[in-house]
Amino acid sequence: MSRFGEPLTLSLPSEPGELEKELINVIFLNTGQLHKLYNWFVMITGLKRKYRNPPMNRYFNGIADYTNIISELDKCVDQNGEVRDNASVELARIRTRKRKLKNNIHQKLLKLLSERSNIFSDATIVERNNRYVLPLKRNFKKDFNGIVHAYSNSGETVFVEPVEITDDAALLVELEEQETQEIERILKQLTALIRTQINDIESDIETVVGLDLRFAKVKFANELNATRPVFGDGLTIIDGYHPILKRISQNVVPLNLKLVPEKTVLLISGPNAGGKTVVLKTIGLLVQMAKCGFFITAGEGSIMPFFEEVYADIGDEQSIEFDLSTFAGHLKWIKESLNANRNSLILLDELMSQTSAEEGSALASALLEEFVRKGGTVIATTHNETLKIFASQHRNMINGGMEYADRPTYRLMLGVPQSSNAIKLARTLGINGPIIDSAIKHLSSDKLSVNTLLEDLSRERTAAEKERKELDLMIKEYKIKLDELNTRRKKEVDDLRLKYKQEMVSAKRSVERLIKDLRSKKADGEIVKKAREFFDQALPPEEKNKPYYPRIGELVHINGISKPGLVMEEHDGKYKISLENIFYWVEPESLIQLRKEK
């Protein structure tokens, strides 16, 4: 938004396509509709004029010319949405006559009020049923010549049109009818003018809708520091977060997730209130945002597969009206998701947890296998231990868990399932000690062992993750040192080469002077020639580092390091070299072929 200046205010005269339908169904547009259209024509014309230069002109170059319509509407309809007196000569004539006639009527009524004030309940001219009347006291009704139009609520006041203004009142009604007819004629004329450009108007409304959406997306991206998504295989989310959570609190734990293409099922476990459902919703929202052309609330480098369909079973689908239990409600949505294919994302919360553990895990395993067969990407949450084991043994599935370190950390850890920690959570929430102790006794020894194992694995995973980050930091530091070493070595070589060159140039000049002296003394020409050739060869051309492109698995030298390293892989023109258990990413220009001993 800041790139283009202040935000645009893009109001619409109607929804796309609605104006065209309206013009089919009505004879003419009313003044309110015309006034709204006028404001829109002025706005869109002003924007076209304002943004006539790049980069914004590409959005407005196609806007139609509404100069004639603006002029006619401005001439006929004022800012209050009323037809102006000078909209036509006939309308001006009618309204002038009306004003004079109303003035005459008022003068006559005021005269009656003044001359016979005792018979009126109030000295005020009143309007009833679009007629001018006087408030006559009921007991004077027979003594006053006029037409009764209404009575007061109490019945004590009679609203009478005096006979003195009857003819003028009738003429006023006639003039008002003429005015109405003339206004309708003007509105029909203006509506006909609108109809001549209806295709342009509808097209430009669509343009403005598109612009409004673009600017809304830009505003959204700026407010939430969103980034451009990259579409590709394998779902990768770097520091992702749900935008609503970010509005509630700035201390949101980011979601980091990387699913390689062959792992099509991610099974997330962990404690209640640990963030499993939030992970599902965040993934689904980010995928849909990217699909709809929004920047996503995630870090640079996030990769979104382009899923054609997203199936989500999140929450309770219990329905009394349709006689559905919670379990039946979930089955209904899961049946729908079986239409998925390799371009589908399926999000399943608490998979098959609403029925018996044994049958639920059997059904869930079969469903996950079917989704793998169809090729869809599945992210599901569970507390089922059997399902966790099943996922760990399937080559297309991977376990993940919400980390729990005495309390939920809301971090998703891939590769290791997590315990539900129901008893720990109950203790944290204040369930009294004896109940907790009794619950622990009811747990089987196998269950306790599994929970302990999962906790140990989680701690080991956390420690390994910390160690990996420290190693990454060390690698970066070593790379910086290597770059500094290469730079320093290159400078030393360049300095030596320059010094050598300068010395040789100086020596050559001395020899040239000697040759000149020899020539003057008629020295032997062959001797002179050989002397020059000798010194020409003594000044070698400047050397350049030639790039070396090794094979994977080959031993090579890194420029400036005596020990050889092993080529592990190549990526983006650089080679990963393993040297004494440290990895370096090196340019081909810094690699030297290992000389074979003869």
User: What is the reported pLDDT for 456?
Assistant: 60
Band (pLDDT 50/70/90 cuts) for residue 468 is confident
Q: 220-223: long-range contacts (C-beta < 8 A, 24 or more apart)?
A: 220/294, 220/295, 221/294, 221/295, 222/1, 222/2
Exposed/middle/buried for 178, CB within 10 Å: 0-12, 13-18, 19+? Answer: middle
User: What is the reported pLDDT for 306?
Assistant: 92
Per residue in 143-163, pLDDT (tens digit) is: 899 999 889 888 899 999 999
**Alpha-carbon span 321 to 375, nearest angstrom:** 35
Is the confidence at residue 447, as pLDDT, over 60?
no
Mapped onto helix, strand or coil, the DSSP state of residue 308 is coil
Among 93-97, 311-315, 351-355, 557-561, the range with the most confident prediction by mean pLDDT is 93-97
User: What is the reported pLDDT for 319?
Assistant: 44
Among 243-247, 374-378, 498-502, the range with the most confident prediction by mean pLDDT is 374-378
CB atoms within 10 A of CB 553: 8
Is the confidence at residue 385, as pLDDT, over 80?
yes
Report the b/e string of 429-452 with b at 16+ CB within 10 A.
eeeeeeeeeeeeeeeeeeeeebbe
Mapped onto helix, strand or coil, the DSSP state of residue 532 is helix
User: What is the reported pLDDT for 271?
Assistant: 82
User: What is the reported pLDDT for 3?
Assistant: 39
User: What is the reported pLDDT for 579?
Assistant: 83
Looking up tokens 């190549």 gives: 570
The more confident residue out of 360 and 595 is 360
Is the confidence at residue 475, as pLDDT, over 50?
yes
**Alpha-carbon span 280 to 278, nearest angstrom:** 5
Is the confidence at residue 317, as pLDDT, over 60?
no
Per residue in 184-243, pLDDT (tens digit) is: 999 999 999 999 999 998 898 888 888 888 888 988 899 889 999 999 988 999 999 999
Is the confidence at residue 572, as pLDDT, over 90?
no
Residue type, 423: I
What is 33-77 written as a DSSP string? HHHHHHHHHHHHHHHHHHT-STTTHHHHTTPPP-HHHHHHHHHHB
User: What is the reported pLDDT for 4?
Assistant: 40
**Alpha-carbon span 317 to 296, nearest angstrom:** 29
The more confident residue out of 427 and 339 is 339
Exposed/middle/buried for 190, CB within 10 Å: 0-12, 13-18, 19+? Answer: buried
**Alpha-carbon span 294 to 343, nearest angstrom:** 20
Residues 486 and 559: beta-carbon distance below 8 Å:
yes
Residue type, 498: L
Range with lowest mean pLDDT among 128-137, 168-177, 374-383, 428-437: 428-437
Per residue in 499-514, pLDDT (tens digit) is: 777 877 777 777 677 6
**Alpha-carbon span 341 to 66, nearest angstrom:** 50
User: What is the reported pLDDT for 455?
Assistant: 61
Mean pLDDT, the chain, whole residue set:
83
Percent of the chain topping pLDDT 70: 83
**Alpha-carbon span 319 to 306, nearest angstrom:** 33
Residues 1 and 7: beta-carbon distance below 8 Å:
yes
Q: What is the pTM of this model?
A: 0.60
Pull the structure tokens for residue 75: 């001439």
Cis omega before residue 564 (within 30°)? no
**Alpha-carbon span 478 to 470, nearest angstrom:** 12
User: What is the reported pLDDT for 5?
Assistant: 39
User: What is the reported pLDDT for 392?
Assistant: 87
Band (pLDDT 50/70/90 cuts) for residue 540 is low
Range with lowest mean pLDDT among 79-88, 335-344, 435-444, 580-589: 435-444
Which residues make Cβ contacts (< 8 Å) with residue 183, sequence separation at least 6?
83, 87, 91
CB atoms within 10 A of CB 58: 9
Per residue in 347-358, pLDDT (tens digit) is: 999 888 777 778
Q: 562-566: long-range contacts (C-beta < 8 A, 24 or more apart)?
A: 564/594
Range with lowest mean pLDDT among 18-32, 128-142, 371-385: 18-32
Per residue in 582-592, pLDDT (tens digit) is: 788 889 988 98
Is the confidence at residue 327, as pLDDT, over 90?
no
Pull the structure tokens for residue 106: 């008022």
**Alpha-carbon span 241 to 225, nearest angstrom:** 11
**Alpha-carbon span 461 to 457, nearest angstrom:** 6
User: What is the reported pLDDT for 535?
Assistant: 54
Per residue in 116-146, pLDDT (tens digit) is: 989 998 889 998 888 999 999 999 888 899 9
Pull the structure tokens for residue 534: 């000798």
Residue type, 194: I
How big is the chain by its Cα radius of gyration, in Å?
44
Band (pLDDT 50/70/90 cuts) for residue 320 is very low
The mean pLDDT of 509-535, rounded to a whole number, is: 62
Is the confidence at residue 545, as pLDDT, over 70?
no
User: What is the reported pLDDT for 173?
Assistant: 92
